[in-house]
Structure 1
Amino acid sequence: IAASFLSQILPAFSDLLRGPRVSRLVPVQQSLRSGEIRDVEVYSSPLAEGDRTYIYSVIHDITERLANERQMRLTEVVFETADPMLVFDQHRSVIRVNNSFCQVTGFHRDEIVGRTVPMLQYGYEDQRFVTMIWEHVDLHGRWEGEVWTYRKDGKIFPKWSTFRAVWSQDRKILNYVESFYDLSRQRDLEARMQALSRTDALTGLLNRSALMEQLEMAHMQANLSQTKGALVVVDIDEFQAINDALGHTSGDVMLTLVTKRLEEMAKGLGVVARLGSDEFAILIPTLLEKGRSPDEVLQQFLENAHRLLVQDYILVDHAYSFTISMGATIFGGEKRKEPLETIIQEAGIALHDAKKKGRNGIVVFEPAMAQSRGDVFHFTEDLRKALNLNEFLLYLQPQVDEHERIYGVESLLRWHYHGETMISPDRFIPVAEETGLIVPIGTWVFQQSCEILRLLHRFDDRLTISINVSPKQFYEDEFVDVVLKTVEQFSIDPHFITIEVTEGLLMEHYDTTVAKLRRLSASGFTISIDDFGTGFSSLSYLKDLPVDELKIDKSFVNNMMHDHDAAMIVETIIGMAKNLGLTVIAEGVETVEQKNRLLSMGCDRFQGYLFSQPKPREDLFQDS
């Protein structure tokens, strides 16, 4: 017997001999010859024989028992501190729930324990779906997915559930365990992000993408009911001069005043949207008025609207006025079922014609206008020729860190139409996407961006460049090969290039998209999700994507100073990104207050007018 063992039990033996002669149970540790230490329990009892007293002992090895007890205590701690959990017996009756389950659902243990699976209501899921879950668990041992269920108060909520089977050694099911994560806050956040992504940050009006949805529904309804609707585009003439004279803050106030008048005149007739900095749209789904033709109804509306819009605006006790150009087109009825982009183009052509005639006027689109310009697709032909005529330009907008030091730039495409007019990307990018011209244009942008990066590295070889990639371009089979060939051609290290893609792109052709992104990431490119929060992708997928950076959309940045929901969304995005090890950059930062608020939330990279407007590359190099 080892001396260490005797030293642990001899004091107990002495107590037995001196005190009451009762049995004693002593837990001790025994070191085996192999060096292994075992937990043992020594049961000792005195035995009198004549004038002598003996002690006999029985030794039990309790190592496994103590290990099981420790495991049970650990399991108990984990069970009560983990996500909501239910334990079922082999007959699928609940035998146990933890505190988290009671806190999330509002049920008390006694109200759940003993209930069988059919008695547990699953919100929107029918019994066939629930049966399928259990059959899958019985066969594969596990099922994971989103289900809807009830709280005690009767409210339905979404949860991400994981069901597991607990098997015996002979592969018989002993228990089932369900753990889940309440998705309510995440779904609420996604809904708020979706709502904010559909509206313009400054005016609260619908944005372009939301307008397109409304236009699609109105167009469909007009064709089905053989009625006519109208799309009106409104432009403030020379608004840049107003901004320069009054400053951006006063210019923004002026835009909100214009918004109020637009909403006033469209009330009960249609919806208003903001298409660009000084361009608005009014969608009138139905041009109906007894005794008058749709053309007459539209003309009367345009005249009344124009008369109201050009009246003085009062700003800080001063009256200001400006001229307004309006272009409109009628859709639906007996007219051909034109594509939505054609409706947008027709309204744009009418607006362009109004400006050509000296501004401050109204023009309704007529087929002759299209014919005088080649046809309605002449705009597309001009776009097709623009690449060969060198009408495209790349502007650069700096990206800065928390100390406002430039660490990179984003390349932004501009179209200098016929060397005279700058056409907004909001107008020509959708057309380029629709026609497929975005592919050669996108290739040109990538090549030019590589050339610019090479020039930038003459000033600072640490600078990066961010390049936007359209979905149509990305889905091309040869896209990754073209990108890799381009960086090789320009001798550029891919680590200095950030490829910006949209959330919508990530949700389409998921497997192919992820495979391409992984190939780009493995080659050294940084992958960024542009305008994050506007595409309504599920936040659940983010952790599985090969993404390095999130760009917070400027609509959230603009709204967060006065909208609690927007502020919460921004803070959540930043926190989530940090937890996933992603970089965060906020775009559209225009004020020091916005920057400071973002810094307090943990965002330390910025882009926006506070630091610099987009500039031609020559100007940026000159500033450098």
Structure 2
Amino acid sequence: DNDFFGVTGSDIALETLLAQLPIGDREQHLLVFDAKGQLLAHPDLDKTTLEQYGREGKKLLTEDFVNPDLQKLVSETIRLKLPESANSFVQDGETHIINIRKVENLNWYIGIYKKRSSALSALEELKVKFFGLFILYAILVALLLHQALYQLVLRRIHSLVNAVVSFGKGQLQTEFPKANKDEIGTLNGSFRDMAIEIRKLIDGLNQRISEKEIAEKAANRLSKAVAFSGTGVVITNQDFEIKYVNPKMVEMTGFEERHFIGSPLLNIISQEMAILVDDIDIDLRSRNYWRGDTLLQGNERQSVWVSLSISPIREDGGEITSYVASAQDISFVKESQRKMEQLAYFDTLTGLANRTFFRMQLRKSMALAERGHYAFALFYFDLDEFKRINDTLGHDAGDQLLVEVANRLKKRLRTEDTIARLGGDEFAVLLSGIEHQTHAMEVANTIQRTLNEPIKLGNNEVIISASIGITMAPFDSQEEDQLLKHADLAMYEAKAKGRNTFHFYSQELNAAANERLFIENELRTGIREGQFRVYYQPQVDCRNNQVVGYEALIRWFHPKEGMIPPTKFIPIAEATGLIVELGAWILQEACEFAARLASQDLKNNISINLSARQFKDANLVSTLDKIIKQTGVEPKRLHLELTESMLMGHVEAAILQLHQLKALGVSISIDDFGTGYSSLSYLKRFPVDILKVDRSFVKDIPQDSNDMEITAAIIAMAQKLKLNVVAEGVETIEQIEFLQNNNCYIVQGYYYSKPIPEDELPALYEQLNSLNS
């Protein structure tokens, strides 16, 4: 709105301003002065000079720094107040050109000067450049004229001459210059047309020559290929008369070439394949070709398996003029197939059928049985105590035994029967045409008699036996897998009956197998859900009817099946390995029970059975040590019961394990003594504290005098070895009296109590007290 508010600005130091100006360099110099002749900037004006003039209070005047000639121009410029002027002056003997401009607002004068020679040198250079360019343009014009003349006339003539000379030298692919409408172009066109015609004639001749050479080479190659081929080749006429055979055919058959020439083609086929000759002849006459595998007739040598192919040779019109037969030797392939089949379907050790071939034959037999009027028996067996022979005599002796068993089976059974080794010492036999068990029993007895004959293995003679399971088809089952399962169940039943026998499948075996599977599945659930309880059977001193200890016995109360006997689930737990987990739980429960009895000042010896799998468990000692420390039970109160058979498997390992257990302070008891090996030489090496007389010797006392003598002998032996004795299965007063008379006082059995839960112990103590009273 045209209102005045004030003035603003900033100061710039003169030194800062002048520092931005080119005061002096190699080519030109700068001079700044004001209207009063005071010097503001000059090449000779440095900081030292300024400080000197400042100290002396002197003014910087131009006349102190420039020569008189330049001072004259400066004075004239100031005097005339020229806004712009250009002139020259002499300095150091050389003329300089200066241009002075006035800065009106500052009332300053700025002059730029440089040597005259330096300023004019650029002009001289420009003149030289213009002269040089003129010369270059002249040369360029001359070259353009020469090039135009060469392109339009000389090059075309030279190209035509070179093309004619090259063509004359036989270079037929020479390219002639393109034809133009002038005389030179017409001449080029004429020469090019002539060259094309000559080239066509020569190309035609060369092509005919090349085709002839190629045909001759191809025929020569084909002839050599047939002659040197690794395939036997026979060429006939249209009537199948042999006209040519190559060396390979001669080599394969052993006949000379003249044997083939003129003879019928089909004579090359072996007489063993005579049934095939008529079919080949029919195919050749109806379809003009044949292909397949056959045998070639050999000359005093074995016939050769070949892949034979017979094909017609037709002329251009389609007429058949001859036939060619090629025979590729496939003897190696056939032999490889035979070996592969041998490996795939037969056992390499015994030569018997293997599992794969056996299953194939079983499927075929099942298919025939389904159609009716066909029955067969399936035998499934293994060799009793084969592992013992393998371990004692070595695997080579075991292999020799298997070979001998296979040979005996092949000699005694019919050729139409399938004998297979399924693996290890397991064998199976398919007996065709067996409809009745009596016939199968006869064969089973034959097999057992055959195997029972002594077998010489090196310097040793062994006698083996087999446990045979028998199932009848299609009566027992019409399914392959079920039939194998039935035979397997029957074999295990034969083993359970004492081995060296046979057993037929029955529905009861199947029910037992299903029950076993049910128990095996339910065991895991039972352990997880706590379905097991520990019952305790008291061990009583029969002299005063006082309880001295207990045996811990496991009981399984299934939520649906009720109580499952230990005789059913313990073997399955042992086989599956679950006995280790179950046994650790029993140890824990029994030790806690003993600790509770100790807190009540009651006798608290506790006997716990160890299974074979549990005894061999590497963690048994550490687990037991942990339980003893956790429950606080006295180790000497803990009696671990083991059977003789558990200790006799690997004696040295068993002794080591027993000593490790004894180091914990526990007692070792031999359970069921007298029913196993009863080797006294080993018994004295075992760190045993207690012998338990098996119930099988006690139950028939006093009726069986033999049992009485055995029991008395066991008690006497234990006393001589300074071992404690416990009698199991005591049920009558007569048995009590007999044991007392033989100095066996610790008894266990139904006479005093059956196994009971812990909460029934008070009633037991009352009962025993009543006996004392």
TM-score (norm 1): 0.43
Bigger Rg, structure 1 or 2: 2
Instruction: State the TM-score, normalizing by the size of structure 2.
Output: 0.35
- Of Structure 1 and Structure 2, the greater helix share is in 2
Decide which structure has greater strand share.
1
Structure number with the bigger relative contact order (C-alpha 8 A, sep ≥ 6) is 1
